[in-house]
Amino acid sequence: MRKRYPLLAGVAAIAVLALSACAPEAPPAATSTSTAKAGTDTLNIATTTDVVNYNPLVGNSRSDYWVSNLMYPHLLSMNEDGDRIPEVATDWGYVDETTGFYEIRDDMKWSDGEPLTAEDVAYTLNATKKDKPAGTLYGQLANMDSAEAVSKTRVEMKLSKPDASIVEGIGFWGNIVPQHVFEKAGSVAEFANDGSDGGWVSAGPFVLTKVQVGQSYTMDRVEDYPIVKGGTPIPAKVVYRVYPDVNAEILALQSGAVDAIANALPPAQVEQLKNTAGIKVEESTGLGYAHMTYNMDNPDLAKVEVRQALAHAADYDAIRKVVLQGQAVSTGSSPLMEVHGDYYDKSIKEYDFDVDKSRSLMEKAGYTADANGNFPVSFRLIYSLQDSVTSQWVQLVKDSAAKAGITIELQGTERNTYLAMTNAGDYDIYAGNFAIMEDPVTNMVLSYLPGGAINYTHVDDPELNDLINTASTSADEKERVKLMREAAQIVHEKVYDNIMYSQQLYFAHSDKWTGFVSKPSELLSIVNPVSLASASKTAK
Amino acid sequence: MSIALFVLRRLGRGVFTIWFAVTVTFLLLRLLPGDPALAVASPNMTEETRAALLTQYGLDQPLIIQYFIYLGRLVTGDLGTSFTQSIPVVDVLLQRLPWTLVLTASALVLTVLLGIPLGVLAASRRGKAMDRFVQILGVTGQSLFVPSVGIALLLLFGLWLRWLPIGGAYDDAVYGVAWYGSVLQHLLLPALSLTLIQLGSYVLTVRATLIDALGDDYVTLAKANGLSPRRILWKHALRNALLPATTLIGLQLGFLVGGAVLTETVFAYPGIGRGIYEAVTQLDFPVLQGAFLLLAVTVVVANMLTDIVYGFLDPRVKTA
């Protein structure tokens, strides 16, 4: 056999040698530093993707966000009702129309002993503005000129024009990075922050200490984390384990290989896991919505009656019951959701599913149905094939539109093609969802102003523009609420957007762990820093 | 033709094949629909951010310039820097390569170790129940789908029986001999899954070529000379029958890598197949180019070695 298969023997030998190179060396014996309150347990969490980038100013994937969040704190967080709450900032607001400020805590430290000061905050904002990294924070800085640490605990930002959302937007989305580490790297847009020059530093509850690419990310407790009750995180370690296949991920939870799953459960798995012994399922409010937008560059879709006809030709209730298995709520077809508090307008009602009304609107728009009852229009609807939920409901939309005599051709593509087509406006109807639409004014600016990054309808309505522009510069919260409600009415009436539902999110963990603090959205959910720092093993 | 010339010709062909693969990969990636900046950044990014990203990635240059810059760097061993991870592509690949080598090599060895006896068993009992059984197994194996097999194996051995771990390549905090044991434990299911997928075609090839060989004149002569059926089967017929099967091993290496993408995904195995899948979703051109180059080199070298081994096994090849 040896004579006949030198190739096989060679391959096997190479494989064994390669493996030997991966064998880890035992670390030196650790000395325990756990305090009385802090435990010695390891919390294992499943995620579906690897960490792509350790630089929070660049990283964009969910795993990037979850791991970065445990090391690089935000100025603001969010409570379960969707309100902004303090994290590193204790107070925030505006000095005048073009100056924003944050007052920050004076008891925060990086894990290497350096204090976290207003200088770090100002550096983060100025470096991001200058180097334009690809992450979310840079998008929030459009109207910021510069930031300055006016004391150890106060940062002031000069704005290029009045912007009522910028202080909370930056506070919520921006991670603070350590100036003494990032500054040495030059451009923050190109800094990998991969720990290759002596590891990571953290001002969060945990610090990354070991990376096994494709397998796990181990984070050790930072003893001094004043944001959590008691001042010290309870788990000794948090380990993110990568299971790219969601079914394997759930099997891992059931077998005890992991204690929690970071990503939201697919709707079809929720009921089964709720009824599985040893598993607890937590509900969290969604901060986003699924929607369809009608491209007004298409002459047919430029007619409001056609858009209204399409809006009345979808059975929203059936979609929520069948596809979402009841795990979604109506927003009244409005971009303002209940989680937006005062902005939410109960008087805006969801488009009713009414095929006759839809037909009559098409006739009003000047179309005549043929002998088979079909109108001479056909619309191409794009969606991402990677989005399994949307892939299901677009089929229902197509079928119900056909009953109203409107032809919809479905064009599902892989995600990158879908994004490119969306960016190029290469569609009649766009179907998709936004994960987090937490600030009504910012959302309206991006979604409905001409040139807005996500203005997929290509709408340019002077009345709507005026309302949104006024709201975006108004410092008066009550006025902003009033203006946004009026704007939402217009969006609804003229169908500049068709919000299908807001999905409730469900997260699973082992009943051997308790104390998680659930927050809205998949990004925060039960894996936000305070939640993981507060989690402990149940006493049995 | 001398052995040296034979090997030199194979080497020349190999280098040409690799250059061709590199060029096709480079062009195909740029023909992909989508925008690397969109794949990396938030959809809310401004046109200015997009332009800055494309400049940073070198994608603002004309295609031909990009190609020659890439080739120039390649000959100096520089595979570039990952768009998304901002670290050298070589580092990205080296982190994952060993695991794919271990997985595919194990699957390859298992396939041969199981495939030859099963093929011999079927061919030596041609037309009988055992032959039919092996054929059914072979055809079934060819029609299996990696994720379904993977999840079924995980459910059975990982969740119900709890004999083997679910996911990963080894346990944390194990060192020395225990670490190798842990690696073996984690390797079993993905290797078995990959073996099951490709075993069918290998068994059927061994069976068919062995049946042909058993009908050759030299087998009749061997029988007439009184050699035992066992000796004829294993010593003479099988040796000739294994020539096409040896070629199949080289060809299957490419298939194995394709299968590894799905296997590594289902079993959360940290290999290069999964790295390729992730790089595709992020349109990380440098990582994809590096990974495909690596795969092309692996397949070309494996085929070259197969050719050379074939040359030794069958002297007619060298003079052809």
Residues A300 and A274 in one domain: no
Whether B53 has its CB under 8 Å from any CB of chain A: the answer is: yes
CATH number of A310's domain: 3.10.105.10
* Residue A184 C-alpha from the chain's centroid: 30
Task: Enumerate residues 25 to 44 of chain A having a beta carbon within 8 A of any beta carbon in chain B.
Answer: 25-26
Statement to judge: residues A307 and A455 lie in one domain: yes
- Domain span at A88: 72-192
Kindly state whether residue A66 falls inside one of the protein's structural domains: yes
Residues of A in contact with B160 (CB under 8 A): none
Do the domain assignments include residue A15? no
DSSP state of B88: B
- For A501, the enclosing helix (H) or strand (E) is strand A498-503
- Flag whether A531 is in a domain: yes
Same domain for A132 and A164? Answer: yes
Angle between helix B146-153 and helix B238-266 axes, rounded to 10 deg: 70
Is residue A142 within 8 A of residue A131, CB to CB? The reply is: no
> What's the confidence (pLDDT) of residue A12?
60
Whether residue A270 contacts residue A282, with contact meaning beta carbons closer than 8 Å, is answered with: no
The last residue of a domain, from among A145, A162, A192: A192
Looking at residue A414, its pLDDT comes to: 87
Residues A247 and A322 in one domain: no
Candidate ranges A199-203, B51-55, B173-177, B223-227; pick with highest mean pLDDT:
A199-203
- The closest CB to that of A7, out of B159, B274, B309, belongs to B309
pLDDT, tens digit, for every residue of B5-44? Answer: 878 888 888 889 999 999 999 998 888 877 787 777 766 6
Q: Is the domain of A376 the same as that of A450?
A: yes
- With bands split at pLDDT 50, 70 and 90, how would you rate the model's confidence at B258? confident
Q: What is the pLDDT of residue B44?
A: 64
Q: Which helix (H) or strand (E) segment is A159 a member of? A: strand A154-159
Distance of CA A333 to the CA centre of its chain: 21
Residue B282, min C-alpha distance to chain A (Å)? 8
What are the residue boundaries of the structural domains of chain B, listed by start?
A: 3-318
DSSP A98-137: TEEEEEE-S--B-TTS-B--HHHHHHHHHHHHHH--SSHH
Mark whether A264 and A343 lie in a shared domain.
Answer: no
From CA A396, how far away is CA A398, in angstroms rounded?
5
Q: In this structure, are A345 and A420 located in the same domain?
A: yes
- The string over A283-318, giving b where at least 16 C-beta atoms fall within 10 Å of a residue's C-beta and e elsewhere, is ebbbbbbbbbbbbbebebbebbbbbbbbbbbbbbee
Among all residues of chain B, which has the CA nearest to that of A216?
A: B168
Res. B256: pLDDT tops 80:
no
Is the CB of B45 less than 8 angstroms away from the CB of A8?
A: no
> Is residue A9 situated within a structural domain?
no
Residue B123 clears pLDDT 70, i.e. is over it: yes
Same domain membership, residue A509 and residue A460 = no
Report how far residue A536's alpha carbon sits from residue A458's, in angstroms, rounded to the nearest whole number.
49
Note whether A272 contacts B: Cβ–Cβ < 8 A.
no
Same domain, A274 and A312: no
In chain B, which among 141-200 make CB contacts under 8 A with chain A? Answer: 147, 150-151, 154-155, 158-159, 162, 165-169, 172, 175-176, 179-180, 183
Q: Is B244 on the interface with A (CB under 8 A)?
A: no
Of A19, A416, A453, the CB nearest to B45: A453
Helices (H), A365-439: 388-403, 415-424
Beta bridge partner(s), residue A148? A156
Instruction: Give the pLDDT confidence score for residue A60 in this predicted structure.
Output: 74
- The three-state secondary structure class of A93 is strand
Q: In terms of domains, do A339 and A418 share one?
A: yes
Amino acid in the structure at residue A171: G
In a structure prediction context, what are the per-residue pLDDT tens digits for chain A, which is 540 residues long?
444 455 556 656 666 666 666 677 666 654 444 454 678 999 999 999 999 899 999 877 889 999 999 999 999 999 888 889 999 999 999 999 999 999 999 999 999 999 999 999 999 999 999 998 888 898 889 899 999 999 999 999 999 999 999 999 999 999 999 999 999 988 998 899 999 888 999 999 999 999 999 999 999 999 999 999 999 999 999 999 999 999 999 999 999 999 999 999 999 899 999 999 999 999 988 899 999 999 999 999 999 999 999 999 999 999 999 999 999 999 999 999 999 999 999 999 999 999 999 999 999 999 999 999 999 999 999 999 989 999 999 999 999 999 999 999 999 998 888 988 998 899 999 999 988 888 999 999 999 999 888 999 999 999 999 999 999 999 899 999 999 999 999 999 999 999 999 999 999 999 999 999 989 999 999 999 999 999 999 876
Q: How far is B7 from chain A (nearest CA, A)?
A: 16
- Residue B298 touches partner A, C-beta closer than 8 Å: no
Give the alpha-carbon dihedral of B120, B124, B127, B129, to 10 degrees. -70
Question: What percent of chain B is modeled with pLDDT above 70?
Answer: 94
Closest residue in A to B264 (Cα–Cα): A244
Alpha helices (runs of H) in A183-266, residue ranges in sequence order = 246-255
- Closest chain A residue to the Cα of B313, Cα to Cα: A4
A15/B158 touch (CB, cutoff 8 Å), yes or no = no
Residue A404, class by beta-carbon neighbours within 10 Å (0-12 exposed, 13-18 middle, 19+ buried)? buried
Query: A-chain residues within 8 Å CB-CB of B104?
Result: 11, 15
Chain B contact probe: residue of A20, A22, A211 with most B CBs at under 10 A: A22
pLDDT for the residue B175: 86
Radius of gyration of chain A (CA): 26
Please tell me whether residues A233 and A179 are part of one structural domain: no
Q: How many residues does chain B have?
A: 320
Task: Out of A157, A192, A227, pick the residue that ends a domain.
Answer: A192
Q: Which of A255, A279, A423, A448 to mutate to test the interface with B (most CBs of B within 10 A)?
A: A255
Highest mean pLDDT among A65-69, A412-416, B69-73, B240-244: A65-69
Task: Provide the chain A residues 397-456 that lie in CB contact (below 8 A) with chain B.
Answer: 413, 415-417, 419-423, 446, 453-454
Residues A232 and A359 in one domain: no
Beta bridge mates, A502: A329
Q: At A161, which CATH number? A: 3.90.76.10
φ/ψ of A146, rounded to 5, equals -160, 165
Chain A nearest CA to B217, separation (Å): 23
- Say which DSSP state A436 is in: B
| A67 in any annotated domain | yes
Q: Which residue of B has its CA nearest to A61?
A: B40
Neighbours of B150 (CB within 10 A): 26
- Helix or strand or coil: residue A497? coil
Residue A4: what pLDDT?
47
Query: To 5 degrees, how large is the angle CA B64–CA B67–CA B69?
Result: 110
The SS3 assignment for A203 reads coil
Chain B residues within an 8 Å CB radius of A384: none
Residue B187 pLDDT more than 90? yes
Q: Are strands A498-503 and A328-329 parallel, antiparallel or unpaired?
A: antiparallel
Cβ distance A299 to A310 under 8 Å?
no
Taking only the tens place, the pLDDT of each residue in B262-275 is 899 999 999 988 88
Place of tokens 């050379």: B308
CB–CB contact A21 B98 (8 Å): yes
Residue A20 lies in a domain: no
Q: Say which CATH number the domain at A242 has.
A: 3.40.190.10
**Number of domains into which chain A is organized:** 3
In a domain, A427, yes or no: yes
**Chain A contact set for B271 (CB, 8 A):** 214
Contact B101 A18 (CB under 8 A): yes
Residue in B closest to A136 by C-alpha: B42
pLDDT of residue B22: 92
Cα B67 to chain center, whole Å?
27
Which H or E run includes A240? strand A237-242
Angle at alpha carbon of residue B16, lines to B14 and B21, rounded to 5°: 95
A420 vs B34: CB contact, 8 Å cut-off? yes
Q: Are A473 and A164 in contact (CB under 8 A)?
A: yes
Nearest to A385 by CA among A414, A365, A417: A414
CATH code 3.40.50.300 for B3-318? no
Residue B237 DSSP code: I
Nearest to A509 by CA among A64, A40, A46: A46
**pLDDT for res A29:** 54
Statement: residue B313 has pLDDT above 90: no
In a domain, A17, yes or no: no
